[in-house]
């Protein structure tokens, strides 16, 4: 960000305000104010029709009341597992695909890029239902496919079993979003200058060794950014679970993550009445979790990653 | 240069991996699309087969078009997406111009403030947003969605466009100033046309999450008249869950427009990502 240097001092420059005002106003009014408004709501409770300040009581309920705290910890752990699967599966696959795509002289590479990115542009609703149908034992696409490779015995209705449902959904989400790490790493790999690669080749570092020793260290900053983007997206996820498993995040809450937990607390479901203040308390917890993650990244990881300027 | 790495077995292996992943990526979409054109019996009898003249059937589409109001949903999604996109691009470019062009007190701080929204999702403010929309009578209007999506899209737009605009040559702008152009004209006449490629990239990035969002339509505008395609498809499928023809047709209808748009703009999108605009 370089502003043009050394402007002579002028009278008040109204045009700066005019240029900035619309964006700042909309952003502040619709995003920042409600964000703090929500944090504030979490300190109030509806007592006989009016909002009363109750301090941290809502959080005491969230962590102290077994009904709430069981749900919260369950959602949080599920969310952590959801994130771990993304980190362990999505990013390595993304890096592998990007490394293959970036090799020079690869034919059809733009076809592969376009095709592999397609799931990423689809909405969660489509992805959720499409996979629900494919994995459904009624339709039988998945068992048939497994039968082709002789593994039919492995099939179970994954989305309907408590022990598999969350992992299955995480993998579906990975399937959908693998395009993003692939593209960002691909961009990072392309930006490595030829001289560096040529120098490596002169020193006899080629193939896999070249990837591990030369390219991987150079794309670490991109991997860091992808990780933090994945973190924010995962701890904010809702749509996929909601469209595949409904607001109850079945079977037996085994796929409940913070987003669906917030939705149920805020709007209520079946027997539970929606509670705005408890919803706000959960949103506040999500805010703190995301903020912690982002700060950890900014202050601990990003500052330690060496950035190479070419 | 890279003769050593382009050997035959290596490139065969690379193609094998890429082809298998492409199949994994496209297979579910393909299965949904082909089965949406088939009779119920053949959907279950031979799910992997493309429709033949005997099994071809549009009953699912007829069902969707008569039962669900998909035309309205499409129209809503279209209005919301285009209007939000317009505001994000206009306001975002204006703010980016101010941040990249002028030196003023608080410039960096303002840039950081606007960039905050890239990391902190707007969803966390939902409780207060809903209350605000209720208070201003905007619930169940498309305006509510447009406002929210404009705010949601601005941080990334400002961030990307600032980087691009600081690359526009100062000489050009100063020449404009000497010719007596006002700052507004410099922005609209000189700078905007030059950053058009970046604007296209921002447009694609902004558009996809808006079109695909389920959360805000569900919470702010769930009424029949304001449903977006994503929400409409979700509710329709929830209602007709046992009618496989209808479900498959609804899914295909939701997939197709995005797919067509993507295939038209994919070059732009991929170039945008790989140009290092998003770091």
Instruction: List pLDDT tens digits, range B117-146.
Output: 888 889 888 889 999 999 999 999 999 999
CA-CA distance, A239 to B219, in Å (whole number)?
12
Alpha helices (runs of H) in A11-123, residue ranges in sequence order: 14-27, 33-41, 57-64, 66-85, 91-101, 109-121
HEC assignment per residue over A236-288: CCCHHHHHHHCCCCCCCCCCCCHHHHHHHHHHEECCEECCHHHHHHHHHHHHH
CA-CA distance, A178 to A305, in Å (whole number)?
23
A270's tokens:
């079946």
- Write the pLDDT tens digit of every residue in B20-48: 999 988 988 888 888 888 888 887 777 77
The half-sphere exposure of B26 on its side-chain side, counting CA atoms within 13 A, is: 15
To 5 degrees, how large is the angle CA A155–CA B60–CA B235?
Answer: 75
Q: What is the pLDDT of residue B236?
A: 85
Least CB–CB distance from A187: residue in B5, B258, B273: B273
Question: Is residue A308 very low, low, confident or very high in pLDDT (cuts 50, 70, 90)?
Answer: low
CA-CA distance, A87 to A101, in Å (whole number)?
21
Of residues B47 and B162, more confidently modeled: B162
Mean pLDDT computed over every residue of chain B: 85
Tell me: pLDDT of B178 over 60. yes
Q: What is the pLDDT of residue A8?
A: 55
Q: Which residue has the tokens 């890239």?
A: B118
Average pLDDT of the residues in B228-238: 86
**Contact indicator for B38, B55 with CB cutoff of 8 Å:** yes
Give B-chain residues touching A35 at CB under 8 angstroms: 120, 122, 124-125, 128
Domains: count for chain A: 1
Question: Is residue A1 very low, low, confident or very high in pLDDT (cuts 50, 70, 90)?
Answer: very low
B162 Cβ partners below 8 Å, 6+ apart?
A1, B96, B99, B100, B111
- Write the pLDDT tens digit of every residue in A273-295: 788 888 899 999 999 999 999 88
Q: What is the pLDDT of residue A31?
A: 92
Probe site for chain A from B18, B27, B107, B262 (most A CB atoms < 10 A) = B18
HEC assignment per residue over chain B: CCHHHHCHHHHHHHHHHHHHHHHHHHHHHHHHHHHCCECHHHHHHCCCCCCCCCCECCHHHHHHHHHCCHHHHHHHHHHHHHHHHHHHHHHHHHHHHHHHHCCCCCHHHHHHHHHHHHHCCHHHHHHHHHHHHHHCCCCCCHHHHHHHHHHHHHHHHHHHHHHHHCCCCHHHHHHHHHCCCCHHHHHHHHHHHHCHHHHHHHHHHHHHHHHHCCHHHHHHCCCCCCCCHHHHHHHHHHHCCCCHHHHHHHHHHHHHHHHHHHHHHHHHHHHHHHCCCCC
Question: Would you tell me which residues 172-201 of chain B have a C-beta closer than 8 angstroms to some C-beta of chain A?
Answer: 173, 182-184, 187
- Write the pLDDT tens digit of every residue in A67-90: 888 889 999 999 999 999 999 999
CA-CA distance, A245 to A249, in Å (whole number)?
5
Nearest chain B Cα distance for residue A4, angstroms: 6
CA-CA distance, B82 to B273, in Å (whole number)?
22
Average pLDDT of the residues in A127-137: 84
Tell me: pLDDT of B108 over 50. yes
A111 to chain B: closest CA residue: B22
- Write the pLDDT tens digit of every residue in A224-242: 888 888 999 899 888 888 8
Tell me: pLDDT of A265 over 80. yes
Residue A169 included in any domain: yes
Are A242 and B214 a contacting pair at CB < 8 A? yes
Residue A215 included in any domain: yes
Of residues B241 and A293, more confidently modeled: A293
In which domain, by residue range, is A197 found? 59-301
Is the CB of residue B166 less than 8 Å away from at least one CB of chain A?
yes
Query: Is this model's pTM higher than 0.80 or not?
Result: yes
**Contact indicator for B125, A28 with CB cutoff of 8 Å:** no
Taking the alpha carbons at both ends of chain B, their separation in whole angstroms is 28
Mean pLDDT computed over every residue of chain A: 84
| Number of CB atoms found within 10 A of residue B233's CB | 27
C-alpha distances (whole Å) from B123 to each of A42, A94, A238, B65 are: 15, 27, 10, 32
Question: Is residue B278 very low, low, confident or very high in pLDDT (cuts 50, 70, 90)?
Answer: very low
* Domains with residue ranges and CATH for chain B: 3-62 (no CATH), 68-239 (1.10.3720.10)
Average pLDDT of the residues in A40-66: 84
Residue A21 included in any domain: no
Average pLDDT of the residues in B75-101: 94
Residue A47 included in any domain: no
Please state, for a pLDDT cut of 70, what percent of chain A lies above it. 94
CATH number at residue A124: 1.10.3720.10
Question: Is residue B276 very low, low, confident or very high in pLDDT (cuts 50, 70, 90)?
Answer: low
Q: What is the pLDDT of residue B279?
A: 40
Question: Would you tell me which residues 76-105 of chain A have a C-beta closer than 8 angstroms to some C-beta of chain B?
Answer: 93, 96-97, 100-101, 103-105
Is the CB of residue B117 less than 8 Å away from at least one CB of chain A?
yes
Question: Is residue B220 very low, low, confident or very high in pLDDT (cuts 50, 70, 90)?
Answer: very high
Nearest chain A Cα distance for residue B198, angstroms: 16
- Write the pLDDT tens digit of every residue in A153-195: 777 778 888 888 999 999 999 999 898 888 888 888 888 888 8
Is the CB of residue B243 less than 8 Å away from at least one CB of chain A?
no
Average pLDDT of the residues in A211-217: 86
Q: What is the pLDDT of residue A6?
A: 52
Question: Is residue A9 very low, low, confident or very high in pLDDT (cuts 50, 70, 90)?
Answer: low
């Amino acid at each position: 960000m370089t502003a043009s240097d050394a402007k002579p001092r002028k009278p008040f420059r109204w045009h700066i305000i005019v240029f900035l005002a619309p964006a700042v106003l909309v952003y502040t009014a619709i995003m920042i104010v409600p964000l703090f408004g929500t944090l504030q709501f979490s300190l109030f409770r509806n007592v006989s029709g009016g909002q009363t300040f109750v301090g941290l009581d809502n959080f005491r309920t969230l962590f102290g009341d077994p009904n709430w705290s069981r749900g919260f910890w369950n959602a949080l752990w599920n969310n952590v597992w959801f994130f771990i699967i993304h980190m362990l599966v999505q990013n390595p696959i993304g890096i592998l695909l990007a490394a293959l795509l970036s090799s020079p002289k690869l034919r059809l590479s733009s076809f592969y890029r376009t095709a592999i990115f397609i799931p990423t542009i689809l909405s969660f609703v489509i992805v959720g239902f499409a996979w629900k149908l494919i994995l459904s034992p009624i339709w039988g696409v998945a068992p048939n496919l497994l039968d082709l490779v002789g593994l039919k015995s492995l099939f179970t209705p994954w989305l309907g079993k408590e022990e598999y449902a969350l992992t299955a959904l995480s993998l579906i989400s990975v399937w959908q979003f693998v395009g993003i790490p692939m593209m960002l790493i691909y961009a990072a790999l392309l930006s490595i200058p030829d001289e560096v690669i040529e120098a490596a080749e002169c020193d006899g570092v080629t193939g896999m060794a070249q990837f591990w020793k030369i390219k991987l260290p150079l794309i670490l900053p991109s991997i860091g950014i992808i990780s933090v983007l994945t973190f924010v997206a995962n701890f904010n996820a809702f749509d996929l679970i909601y469209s595949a498993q409904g607001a109850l995040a079945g079977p037996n809450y085994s796929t409940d993550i913070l987003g669906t937990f917030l939705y149920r607390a805020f709007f209520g479901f079946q027997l539970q009445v929606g509670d705005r203040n408890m919803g706000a308390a959960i949103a506040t917890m999500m805010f703190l979790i995301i903020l912690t993650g982002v700060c950890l990244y900014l202050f601990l990881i990003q500052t330690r990653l060496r950035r190479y300027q070419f | 240069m890279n003769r050593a790495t382009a050997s035959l077995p290596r490139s065969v292996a690379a193609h094998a991996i890429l082809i298998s992943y492409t199949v994994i990526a496209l297979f579910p979409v393909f299965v949904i699309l082909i089965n949406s054109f088939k009779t119920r019996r053949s959907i279950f009898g031979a799910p992997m087969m493309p429709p033949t003249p005997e099994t071809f059937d549009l009953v699912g589409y007829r069902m969707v078009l008569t039962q669900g109001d998909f035309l309205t949903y499409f129209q809503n999604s279209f209005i919301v997406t285009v209007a939000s996109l317009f505001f994000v691009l206009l306001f975002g470019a204006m703010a980016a111009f101010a941040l990249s062009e002028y030196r003023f007190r608080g410039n960096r701080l303002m840039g950081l403030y606007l960039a905050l929204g890239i990391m902190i999702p707007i969803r966390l403010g939902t409780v207060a947003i809903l209350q605000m929309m209720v208070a201003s009578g905007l619930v169940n209007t498309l305006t509510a969605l447009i406002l929210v999506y404009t705010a949601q899209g601005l941080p990334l737009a400002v961030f990307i466009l600032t980087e691009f605009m600081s690359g526009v040559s100062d000489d050009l702008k100063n020449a404009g100033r000497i010719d007596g152009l006002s700052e507004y004209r410099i922005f609209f006449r000189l700078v905007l046309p030059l950053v058009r490629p970046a604007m296209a990239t921002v447009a694609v990035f902004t558009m996809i999450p808006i079109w695909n969002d389920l959360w805000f339509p569900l919470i702010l505008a769930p009424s029949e008249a304001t449903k977006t395609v994503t929400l409409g498809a979700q509710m329709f499928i929830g209602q007709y869950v046992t009618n496989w023809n209808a479900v498959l047709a609804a899914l295909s209808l939701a997939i197709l427009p995005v797919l067509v748009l993507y295939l038209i703009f994919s070059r732009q999108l991929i170039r945008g990502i790989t140009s290092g605009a998003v770091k």
